[in-house]
Structure 1
Amino acid sequence: MAAPAPASASGPRGTATDAAPDPPQPSEPTSAQATETAQSGPAEPPQPGATAASQNQLTAASLEQHTEETQAEAGAGAGADEQVGNLQSVLHLEPDTGSNSDNDSAFDATSSASTSLASSILNYEYTNGRRYHGYRQGSYVLPNDEQEQDRLDLLHHIFLLILSGKLYDAPITPPPRRVLDIGTGTGIWAIDFADENPGCEVIGTDLSPIQPTWIPPNAKFYIDDAESEWVYSASEAYDLIHGRGLSGGIGDWDKLIRQCYTHLTPGGWLEFQEPMALCESDDGTMAAAVDMDRWQDLCNDAAQVFKKDIRVADSLKQKMIDAGFVDVHEKVVKVPVGPWPRDPRMKEIGRYQREHMAMGIEPYTLGFIGKVLGWSEAECRVLIAKVINDVRNRAFHIYIRFIFVHGRKPESAVH
């Protein structure tokens, strides 16, 4: 990457990208499970990744208002059967018909170059009541303020629930010595990984200096643009490169994947965890969510104008294969928006995802539809209110596909 600057020790927490939405694909929903698919050829057996070091206190607080609903639904419904499919789809969610409720681094004060860079990085843009990054201004349309950081940390919690507490899905052995987290945002994934792997050096990069001051001694954060040319030396190769929620923030995914391949050690792993920016249903109820459907089409149109795809998730597997990765696996999980599934585990995940989505409607609308398509703030606010109503409508059995893809650089590859 282009000579990364150390992240400021001050400020809140992160930036990243995440899911937006679009129309349905019918078929009666049933259970809650992921399907894993693999590139032909022997794959290594999966092993657990690092467990998250701490629970996100925000998530509990943000859902406190739903305690009564949680209690009402706790006894409703039974777990649905798992169904494992092949290459393409995935899991089925059965609606619950029994209930209708709902760093230690800082800028060198003696360096004029660092001082100038610090000034640029901290020169935030304030628009429509939200704060946006200053470094490479305009290259990323979502905010980096406290509200957005809360959303990103909630999303981290959802990913942990989906992966049963694991931070990654790749079968990595032996434990990695150097790890890179692209688009680290609040740094929560990198911090958890560093806590769980004290012998591993963990680097997190992002456009915004919003990581916390107190971090593990083996973690470092840098201000950097992952789309710039990477300048790491051969001795700085990584055993694992991780990227999550980058959709809408990357313009050239093929270049990014090639750079990841180049800067991995032979046998090293690349893993992406991406929500597909498309709301769907298996029972046709998405058709009635007209405002959400219109909203996700507008977001996708804006992303095309912005030239940063928000629906790239389901093409990442083939892109990694084309770049030379082997043992490429894809896992797709249908994540419900709301606690409508019968399966208790997916009901819990859906409750969190509904709150996460409700928090994300405003930044996506103001960023993509407002900034890119030129809508006024007033027009955006009207649409935001309508879409949030659809998100909270318990009659809509909507889900978003979360796609996990990992692949290995061949042992025979030359760094």
Structure 2
Amino acid sequence: MALSFERADNIDAFGASVSTSSTASLTDSVREYRLLHGRTYSQKTEYWAPNDNKQTEALDFNHFWQLDYFGGRLTMAPIGDSPHHVLDVGTGTGIWAIDFADTYPSAEVIGVDISPIQPSWIPPNVKFQIDDFELDWTFRENFFDFVHIRNLEAAVADWPKLYSQAFTHTKPGGYIEVKQIDIKTRSQTIELTDDHIFSRWYKNISEATEKIGKSVKNVDDHGLAKGVKDAGFVVEEEKVYRIPIGGWSKDATLKELGALNLEFNDQSLEGFGLYLLKEVLGWEYVEVMVFVSEMRQALRDPKNQAYYNLHLVYGRKPEETQVTPAA
């Protein structure tokens, strides 16, 4: 495993899902949100992230820094120049799916998410489906050329099932790619003690995600490559990248990337912590906001030289075995 601090036809819907190429036609029930201290959340109580404008802006910043880091490449898997059927699991704002559809006009791209936060104006080769990807999939088997999974931290209860379903619905020779952030914030300059805000943030967020059955420790505890391999894929690449948080790097490119990543963290910290700390761990609202503020200030401090690890794995589904008839 490499560790780097350098640049580096009719489609069936999920069961009982709302499928649309424009979110304008979604039913009112799908748009019913919960309100928590001024932030809106999906009605699905097991999911902790807000779905309001502040959070969607943060998600787009997350896309921008990753696109920048990987040199404008939307995928590292060798999918060729003309993929046909592509699935984006947990599409969020749909920005990756839209960019992919623009880049690969041959592709029919489906983005699935639990919240209808995608734009109405989209390329004709994109469809967004509002559904829970943890339910049983009803796509045709052996169908997708490429399944894309990115940033599902604390969003999955059963990773083996998710990988297994991806394998079932990927065609032989097709690819899966998974990118996940290990949210344990690290420092290049100081040894982190248990009482450091980076350590306390990870400890409490980890505890909360374990309580809801969607641990953020899946990257370390299980390993993305192991999960992909156990599902049946042949792992072709596994890498870990150190991603700077903030513009502290002397390298001009990493400095710009770190600034984008800091903006992502700055905007998403409250959304990441509010539900988990208050509703799951029982903190007071004021306690949460003070904790978020402390973490935000520590990330902004260039003396800490904060970073986290981004894990990347992609694998290929083996071609179907030819069975030789008995003599």
TM-score calculated relative to the size of structure 2: 0.89
Cα distance in 1, alignment partners of residues 235 and 35 from structure 2: 44
Corresponding residue for 1:212?
119
Unaligned runs of 5+ residues in structure 2 are 1-13, 323-327
User: What RMSD in Å do the two structures reach over aligned CA positions?
Assistant: 1.8
Deviation string 1:130-158 (CA, Å, 9 cap, x unpaired) is 00012xx1121010000000000000001
Q: How does 1:242-321 map to 2 (within 5 A)?
A: 242-287=148-193, 290-314=196-220, 315-321=223-229
CA distance in structure 2 between the partners assigned to 1:165 and 1:187 by the alignment: 17
Q: Tell me, yes or no, if the aligned pair for 2:225 and 2:235 is still in contact at 8 Å.
A: no
Give 1:289 shift: 7.8
Q: Which runs of 5+ in 1 are unaligned?
A: 8-102, 108-113
Measured in 2, the distance between the counterparts of 1:329 and 1:346 equals 23
Q: Which amino acid aligns with 2:215?
A: D
Deviation digits for residues 193-250 of structure 1, max 9, x if unmatched? 1111112100011001111111001110011111000011247x10000011111111
Give 1:129's aligned residue: 38
Per the alignment, residue 410 of structure 1 pairs with 318
| CA offsets 1:295-345 (integer angstroms, 9 cap, x no match) | 221001101111102132341111111111114311211001112222222
Which residue in the other structure is 1:395 paired with?
303
1:174 offset after TM fit, Å?
A: 5.3
Cα displacement (A) at 1:361: 1.4
1:156, 1:188 within 8 Å by CA — same for their partners in 2?
yes
Q: 1:146 and 1:413 mapped to 2: Cα distance?
A: 48
Tell me how far 1:285 sits from its aligned partner.
4.8
**1:345 partner SS:** helix
- Provide the rounded CA distance (Å) in 2 between the counterparts of 1:340 and 1:348: 9
Partner of 1:34: none
Q: 1:4 aligns with which of 17, 23, 28?
A: 17
CA distance in 2, matches of 1:181, 1:149: 17
Match 2:22 to one of 100, 104, 116: 104
For residue 3 of structure 1, report the CA deviation from its aligned partner: 3.4
- C-alpha separation in 2, matches of 1:179 and 1:201: 6
1:413 and 1:381, CA in 2 relative to 1: closer, same or farther beyond 3 A? farther
Deviation per residue, 1:40-70 (Å, 9 max, x gap): xxxxxxxxxxxxxxxxxxxxxxxxxxxxxxx
Aligned match of 1:357: 265
Following the alignment from structure 1 to structure 2, what is the Cα–Cα distance between the partners of residues 191 and 310? 27
Q: Quote how far apart the aligned CAs of 1:284 are.
A: 2.5
Shift of 1:177: 0.3
CA gap 1:254/1:126 in 2 versus in 1, 3 angstroms: same
Please give the per-residue CA displacement for 1:140-187, whole angstroms capped at 9, x wherever unaligned. 101000000000000000110111100011011352100000110100
Contact 1:105/1:220, CA 8 A, preserved across alignment: no
The percentage of aligned residue pairs carrying the same residue is 37
Q: Is residue 223 of structure 2 the alignment partner of residue 223 of structure 1?
A: no
- Classify the secondary structure of the residue corresponding to 2:302: coil
Say if 2:24 and 2:120, in contact at 8 Å, map to a contact too.
Answer: no
Change (3 A) 1:317 1:234: closer
Residues 190, 202 of structure 1: 8 Å contact kept: yes
**What is the letter of the counterpart of residue 242 of structure 1?**
H
Runs of 4+ in 1 over 6 A off after TM superposition: none
What do residues 248-269 of structure 1 show as CA deviations (whole Å, max 9, x unaligned)?
A: 1110000000000000000010
Between the aligned partners of 1:334 and 1:234, the Cα distance in structure 2 is 36
Q: Following TM superposition, by how much is the alpha carbon of 1:119 offset from its aligned partner in structure 2, in angstroms?
A: 2.9
Moved more, 302-311 or 148-157: 302-311
8 A Cα contact 2:81 2:104, kept in partner? no
How far off its partner does 1:2 sit? 2.7
Pair 1:348–1:329, CA change in 2 (3 A): same
